[in-house]
Amino acid sequence: MVGEEPRAPYDRVHLSELFAGKSATDLEMLPRPWYAENGVELVTGERVVSIDTEAMEATTDAGRKLSADRIVLATGSAPFVPPLPGIDKPGFFVYRTVEDVEKIRSWGSSCKQGIVIGGGLLGLEAAKALVDLGVEATVVEFAPRLMARQLDEVGSKLLLKSIQALGVKVILDARSQAIVGEGKVEGLQMADGTVVPAGMVVASAGIRPRDEVARASGIQVGERGAIDVDDNMRTSVPGIWAIGECALHKGMVHGLVAPGYRMAEAAAHDIVGSSQPFPGFVAATKLKLMGVDVASIGDVNAAGDDFDDLVVKAPCAGIYQRVVWRISDRKLQGAVLVGDLEPFGELSALLTSGEPVPVDPRALLAPPREEGAGADPIVCNCENVRRSKIIQAIDAGATDLAAVKKATKACIGLRKLRAGCDRSHQEADGRARDPGRSLALRPFFPLARRTVRSGLEGEDPGLRDLDGAPWQRRPGLRGLQAGGGEHLREPLERACDFRRA
């Protein structure tokens, strides 16, 4: 395994956690000893520059030559750097690697104002990084709305409002002209001549597939870049595969981690002689952007006479949900969720299955059913882990988040784990499970989440505080979501203030 970066493979999805105190070692995918113990030679700090496809020999920029029977290209992508005058000035950065984070953190420690070029997923993540550093952040986006590929107009406006409430400035429909400053970055000049002052500029305006080694080696690439592959991830050269963001499958480059894992599985199966073709991937992702829960499923911009939709809005609570389906066959086309992501599992499962939308589509945004496409939704998109697998791990003895993650390989946090298991407390014969057997919200708190929820809704679930005092009925969960009931936030988020009577 050869990598250009000076470290073992790490979880780039959680790169922003380095600003919150995690170390680069914390993000590593596997412990260092694993590689040698499993017969993997790990070469870091070197880049493969060419492949002799006849001799099956790769050459690195350090002159190292490596022979192989099979080669997999997983070169990923590079950040798109806008061709602006002044990008060579100190204070200009990209946001892609651990080293990038270290440079941004070092410069940002003495910087008051920062600009992020790009209002997509990566751009908003970079803006959050600046906020975490105590830097006043301004997001500059060329498009007329944030996250134009993932959100429709209404969802984008709600996200914009939430981000602005955090003190982040946003300039939309803006064309950057040049980075200005005497000897270092002092601002960003716009096409209309105005200058937005800043001591640093971070470019996070998209990615470009890393296909240089393929081009240098005579491996076929697409007209607009990326390495052409078939359903088994084979390239145009026998014995060489390509996966992830560098691969072009049926005209698509997938820039998410989940399809990358599926591609890796397809290539691995093909290499060992079995078959598990990559079927393609319909985007279904959810994340937290600067404290705002956002999810996007399928084609969120489907519109016109051929489509119908259902919209739920509660602007004061920061909630927006829209589901779109094709009228002719009632197949789900896409969905946008902002603020409340509860329906995500069922909607993503429905899109994958191709089953029709219910006659009453309101059921999709209501408390989910225990049957149909959403009865066993995907809880972790990265590893394709369904709720049933998590429940199996819990029943097998996993009593905390770490144990569940180890048993299932799910890349999830406690909140997501609770949500995924919230509707899984019925046995196959219909008898209710013992709530004490359900997932403990903390290892020392063996209480079903639905019981906590019922208490928060004003019912008496038979709870007592840790000091033994009886449960007191308080404002419901809805009040908390709308901004009230702040004294319930700690019990709700940490779920460690009560025990079963």
**pLDDT score recorded for residue 420:** 52
Does position 384 have pLDDT exceeding 50, yes or no? yes
What's the rounded Cα separation, in Å, for the pair 187 and 429?
66
Residues 115 and 104 in one domain: yes
* Helices H / strands E in the chain, number of each: 13, 28
Residues 258 and 327 in one domain: no
**pLDDT score recorded for residue 216:** 95
**pLDDT score recorded for residue 455:** 47
CATH number of the domain bearing residue 47: 3.50.50.60
Does 364 reside within a domain? yes
Does 384 reside within a domain? no
Residues 213 and 356 in one domain: no
**pLDDT score recorded for residue 411:** 66
Residues 180 and 127 in one domain: yes
**pLDDT score recorded for residue 180:** 96
What's the rounded Cα separation, in Å, for the pair 307 and 327?
5
* Last residue of one domain, picked from the residues 189, 205, 221: 205
Does position 431 have pLDDT exceeding 60, yes or no? no
Domain that holds residue 487: 433-501
Alpha helical stretches, state H, 80-233: 98-108, 121-132, 153-165, 212-216
Residues 73 and 213 in one domain: yes
Question: Regarding predicted confidence, which is higher, 426 or 18?
Answer: 18
Question: What's the number of domains the chain is made of?
Answer: 4
Residues 215 and 200 in one domain: no
Residues 97 and 52 in one domain: no
Label residue 316 by pLDDT band (50, 70, 90).
confident
- 336-355 pLDDT, tens digit each: 999 888 888 889 888 888 89
What's the rounded Cα separation, in Å, for the pair 90 and 181?
10
- 123-152 pLDDT, tens digit each: 888 898 899 899 999 999 999 999 888 899
Residues 178 and 137 in one domain: yes
What the block records as the tokens of 365 is 């945004």
* Last residue of one domain, picked from the residues 334, 352, 375: 375
Q: What is the mean pLDDT of the chain?
A: 81
**pLDDT score recorded for residue 416:** 53
Alpha helical stretches, state H, 256-343: 257-271
Name the least confident of 19-28, 301-310, 445-454: 445-454
CA distances from 376 to 75, 368, 386, 441 (A): 34, 11, 6, 21
Residues 13 and 153 in one domain: no
Q: What does the DSSP 8-state code read for residue 10?
A: B
- 292-303 pLDDT, tens digit each: 889 999 998 888
Does position 273 have pLDDT exceeding 60, yes or no? yes
What's the rounded Cα separation, in Å, for the pair 189 and 174?
10
Residues 71 and 214 in one domain: yes
What pTM did the predictor assign? 0.73
Residues 200 and 116 in one domain: yes
Does 184 reside within a domain? yes
Does position 233 have pLDDT exceeding 50, yes or no? yes
- 203-222 pLDDT, tens digit each: 998 889 999 999 999 999 99
Does 8 reside within a domain? yes
Residues 311 and 371 in one domain: yes
- 76-116 pLDDT, tens digit each: 999 999 999 999 999 999 999 999 999 999 999 999 999 99
Does position 156 have pLDDT exceeding 70, yes or no? yes
